[in-house]
Chain A
Amino acid sequence: MASGVKPRVKVPKKAAAGETITIKTLISHKMESGQRKDSDGNVIPRSIINRFTADFNGQNVIDVTLEPAISTNPYFQFEAVVPESGEFTFTWYDDDGDVYDTSKKIAVS
């Protein structure tokens, strides 16, 4: 499913060095579980995002493996520490090989 996938990320614009910040991410995706059937009784093939990663200046914050039991429009909330100013990179990996990414800058004072 490559259409209509839109990542949304909420990261504070600035923080103090070493401060804990909360990050919220959401990506619009159907997350078809592979368990449902259409009106003819055929199984609708699985199509989900199977991996999500968040990195800050090349260092990993969280790496999530997703299974079909994750809801439509996968949402994650987690916490990170920021040692210096830089950029968060968020990456989602689709079953069909597509990779969606977005990045957010943060200024550390």
Chain B
Amino acid sequence: MKLTRRNLLIFSSAGVAATAMGSLPAFASLTDDAIAALTGGADMGTGVITITAPEIAENGNTVPIGVDAPGAESITLFADGNPVPAVATFAFGPLAASNAASTRIRLATTQNVIAVAKMQDGSFQMAKANVKVTIGGCGG
């Protein structure tokens, strides 16, 4: 790939995002509290939930998010960089064909979207997806 100004910008912003992922945002403890309140401090497994989220969201006001957790009783979404981390809880009834749902959410800044699923056997599963948010949709 030729080293143009545009490519240079993409690489440098990816580098910044990678560093940001290392240190959690200031709101992270709020999210931890919210998750602990949901799970009662139980250990959480990983690997069951799939989060479908854009890598880069130009407009933080409507970010399409899909979540799929086979065998889940309910799924709760959190956004750890929002002033209020809770986003939504999906509880599946007897006629739900799959334990999956999609919606559109608000993200205040670049952050992790966290899904915590309560499985039918009472255990908990967790998954994370990092979403970069370009505020104002300026596309840079």
Contacts and interface: CB of A to CB of B under 8 A. Distances in A.
A and B assemble together: yes
A17 to B, nearest CB: 13
Contacts of A72: 61-62
Contacts of B97: 20-21, 79-81
10 contacts: A21-B97, A62-B90, A63-B93, A69-B105, A70-B105, A75-B104, A78-B96, A79-B100, A80-B97, A83-B95
Interface in B55-87: 61-63, 66, 79, 82-84, 86-87
Interface string A50-71: 0000011001111111111111
Interface string B90-109: 11111111101111111100
A25 B90 CA distance: 14
A61 B84 contact: no
Given A35-B83, A69-B84, A69-B106, A64 B90 contact: yes
B103 A75 contact: yes
B86 A67 contact: yes
B123 interface: no
Contact of A76 (B95, B103, B106): B103
Contacts of A81: 95-97
A70 B104 contact: yes
A80 B86 contact: no
B42 interface: no
B13 interface: no
A42 interface: no
A77 interface: yes
B7 interface: no
B29 interface: no
A68 B108 CA distance: 12
Which 3 A-B pairs rank lowest in CB-CB distance, beginning with the nearest? A60-B93, A79-B97, A20-B97
Interface string A78-108: 1111110000000000000000000000000
B46 interface: no
A76 B91 CA distance: 13
Contacts of A47: none
B137 to A, nearest CB: 14
A79 B107 CA distance: 25
